Structure 1
Amino acid sequence: MSLKAEVIEKVSALLAAAFGLIAALAWNGAIQELFAQIFGDQSSLVAMFVYAIVVTIIAVIAVILIGRAAGKAKAEDEAAGRR
């Protein structure tokens, strides 16, 4: 892979991560407001832990699914390249 292609690949990955962070921050605010309405205005320690656990579980599941999809796509590309 050429240097130009590597730079473009890395920059695109960084931009995707940046947009992901922006989306995550937007969802964070929305979910915190939802938890505030469910548990009341006073954010208790229990509510904060429930929020953190739920978000972590969702993130882990998403990462696993994305990793599987990426692995499958890579295997398909490699199989197509061998033909």
Structure 2
Amino acid sequence: MGRINKIKNEGERITSEVRDRSMTYIAGGLGIVVGLAWNEAIKSLIDYFYPASGANSISAKFIYAIIITTVVVLVTMYIVRPPKM
């Protein structure tokens, strides 16, 4: 009887782990969708203010990329820093 309970508990643990990981992957996928939506919105904003295709548009997109990279790095550093005790 103990062996059956062990197998049952292991099955429940695996089911729970699969559910947890699946939810993590779904949330990550939705995060990518949101990020792509914002990317399109910001690209449209850049095209609105810098309608000329060429050097101005390219430089604006590089500036945007640098700013976004800096913000993401700072936010990531803030999130993963060890808590003060």
TM-score interval, normalised by the smaller of the two chains:
0.5 to 0.7
In 2: Cα distance, 1:65 partner to 1:9 partner: 25
CA spacing shift, 1:65–1:5, aligned 2, 3 Å: farther
2:69 counterpart residue number: 56
In 2: Cα distance, 1:5 partner to 1:41 partner: 53
In 2: Cα distance, 1:41 partner to 1:10 partner: 45
- Which 5+ residue runs of structure 2 have no aligned equivalent? 1-9
Q: Which moves more between the two structures, 59-68 or 2-11? A: 59-68
Give how far 1:23 is off.
Answer: 0.4
Give how far 1:32 is off.
Answer: 0.6
CA RMSD of the aligned region, Å? 2.2
> Following superposition, which runs of at least 4 residues in structure 1 exceed 4 angstroms of deviation?
none
Aligned length: 70
Q: Report percent identity of matched pairs.
A: 30
Bigger radius of gyration among the two: 2
Q: 1:53-78 CA deviation, whole Å, 9 max, x = no partner?
A: 1121222223223324xx54xxxxxx
Q: 1:23-64 CA deviation, whole Å, 9 max, x = no partner?
A: 001100111111122223425321221121112122222322
